[in-house]
Structure 1
């Protein structure tokens, strides 16, 4: 059997970083120590707060794997703190050790407490100067992680989604700092900015295309998508079943982002722009692309004529998907061929719920070995290496 890590540099396209409690306070300019996000005790529980009393959210461990390496259901672990969670969730040295142990050359990182798409800052920090400073400090910290890891840790820079101009500015700053992509909320209209179909965002798309910064949309990266998460399940279900329902539906919520981006004509105006649908799987993509073709002709034939191609034809040139558990009835190759073997990247979601743990490459070895060798190499690392310029 092929030893996956011996055949290719394996790149994990979706993992999560639990923010250190001192992340902002140790980097705060004079006068901002008590204004920037920090962790305080509220009724015996640690909370991320901003300014004097603005709550961002509980300061949780952000994972389902504990310090001893035991994995628990989400509902049984979600309220545990940073002292409980696996050290690799927040300590970059421990993360690199974990990667070495499990055969990963590199991992892409997304935040936790600040909002998976950075929406926690956009929606909870109101002062414009403090907003910008919070984003800059966080992204500077991420750049440090990438540098100190020798580009094995690849965080995606969060964007100040409340302002197109601020996003353009921060994307340029991120590119100069060596970032390999940006992390965007799917619903900037929540913060008072235009929605992503608005032409004002062309300024950001142009910069991202020119600077080779793929735009990443992680599931749960907006209040809108998280509200869906909390409403899909039937209330009387067992508490452990609720995140199973909500988590599954979050995958499909990213189909909303893909279809909107295509219908909005973004890729006709920016033919070199790349986007990534993160932690949403891939099995839904062929069906939703067929749906996009059918529905636009049924409901908006005039707008369909304004696109240069059928909606389904845009995906392979502009979008990437990540997956970790799908089997497609034992014929994974067929599914990858339908999505596009150059458009699929492997992920583990460590240390979040549903993550592949404790031995992620062994968990997928049988499925990966059944793929064509060139497909296997692309999915496990070559496509990500090309996208992220490794």
Structure 2
């Protein structure tokens, strides 16, 4: 029987927590219960409502049923499933911890579902930003409770008020005080009226995150702009079950634009200790992009190339992490890990989403992970995450 190297500690760097229907209302100030996100059944479907308007389905957020069977996206999360149709560990944090024990996973980093993976469904759908700020703070406070009650085994990433840079700085500092180990940022704050992330106006936020040791996380699909890839990359003639496969595969490569833009922007020269994480993007595209980003900038903007303090590709080594789960490296995973950098890779399961490793994620990857050098195994399966998240 194939086994992992001695001393491997498994930390899952990407999973999702479906929002409970009472997440906001149970924490709302008295009299504000109807002014925060709450669930209303409309035409037989549970919907999230805020300011009298719906901003999304209060669905399952997953494809695993209560018995542990995985279903196609189109007939589960992307179909008629509600929160009662999904595995309870998708939304119940006590059940999640029990599941981690069963799976041999020590800790898990969590991202939202219904409110938008980067929080965009929440703050892009409401004009009253004072009300949205309250909702955002309530969400982050709820996630701080999740982290504390789990004994730091569940590590939710708090969302930032992307429409207001100064508010992002204040919320990052507040989140650090609450014990969070990073922040969850939308890839495209310009969707909410802010400058894009390369604008020096964001420097106070980068300075705060670097100084507080809060890595900034960019999950695929964490903005309206990024998520549009999911619904536009497939040909209309494709089968309805094939379309999510094309959309999902397209999303993986979407984060390459974040790597390119951040490296070229000069932000890491100004904030050399700033750390960023490309979440659920895989790593197979990274080696090619590292070559391409050096070549293209020197060819097209030689003066800017000379102006940077490092080769563009070196900013990935020094400032970025990426997560992976099902990739095999086409039979040579060690070569792929070495090309990306064994200090820059973290393992994930993506529970309970369509591409999650289920039902036994560690067992599912053991054979290919066992081909890695013992030190590589220890780093990518949990060591890098333990260091980044101070576990």
Structures share fold, TM-score greater than 0.5:
yes
Moved over 6 A (4+): none
Query: Which position in structure 2 is the counterpart of 1:262?
Result: 263
Query: Which position in structure 2 is the counterpart of 1:370?
Result: 371
**Structure 1 length as normaliser, TM-score?**
0.98
What SS class does the counterpart of residue 325 from structure 1 fall into? coil
Query: Which position in structure 1 is the counterpart of 2:300?
Result: 299
Query: Which position in structure 2 is the counterpart of 1:203?
Result: 204
Question: How far did residue 365 of structure 1 move?
Answer: 0.5
Question: How far did residue 5 of structure 1 move?
Answer: 9.1
Query: Which position in structure 1 is the counterpart of 2:125?
Result: 124
Question: Which structure 2 residues correspond to residues 310-321 of structure 1 after superposition, within 5 A?
Answer: 310-321=311-322
Q: Assess if the C-alpha contact under 8 Å between 1:38 and 1:50 holds in 2.
A: yes
Question: Which structure 2 residues correspond to residues 344-363 of structure 1 after superposition, within 5 A?
Answer: 344-363=345-364
Q: Assess if the C-alpha contact under 8 Å between 1:228 and 1:250 holds in 2.
A: yes
Query: Which position in structure 2 is the counterpart of 1:65?
Result: 64
2:248 & 2:363 partners in 1: Cα distance? 24
Is the deviation greater in 72-81 or in 5-14? 5-14
Query: Which position in structure 2 is the counterpart of 1:23?
Result: 23
Question: How far did residue 44 of structure 1 move?
Answer: 1.3
Query: Which position in structure 2 is the counterpart of 1:49?
Result: 49
Q: Assess if the C-alpha contact under 8 Å between 1:4 and 1:361 holds in 2.
A: no
1:47 & 1:302 partners in 2: Cα distance? 52
**Structure 2 length as normaliser, TM-score?**
0.98
Question: How far did residue 300 of structure 1 move?
Answer: 1.4
What SS class does the counterpart of residue 276 from structure 1 fall into? strand
Question: How far did residue 7 of structure 1 move?
Answer: 2.9
1:42 & 1:198 partners in 2: Cα distance? 42
Q: Assess if the C-alpha contact under 8 Å between 1:276 and 1:320 holds in 2.
A: yes
Question: How far did residue 203 of structure 1 move?
Answer: 0.5
Question: How far did residue 35 of structure 1 move?
Answer: 1.0
What SS class does the counterpart of residue 65 from structure 1 fall into? coil
1:228 & 1:283 partners in 2: Cα distance? 19
Deviations 1:6-49 (A, max 9, x none): 73221000000000000011111122111101110111111111
In structure 2, runs of 5+ residues without a counterpart are: none
What SS class does the counterpart of residue 66 from structure 1 fall into? coil
Alignment of 1:40 with 2:24, yes or no, is no
Question: Which structure 2 residues correspond to residues 1-390 of structure 1 after superposition, within 5 A?
Answer: 1=1, 3-4=3-4, 7-52=7-52, 54-78=53-77, 79=79, 80-390=81-391
Question: How far did residue 59 of structure 1 move?
Answer: 0.8
Q: Assess if the C-alpha contact under 8 Å between 2:345 and 2:384 holds in 1.
A: yes
Deviations 1:178-218 (A, max 9, x none): 00000000000001011101001000000000000000000
Deviations 1:151-202 (A, max 9, x none): 0000011111011001000000000000000000000000101110100100
What SS class does the counterpart of residue 218 from structure 2 fall into? strand
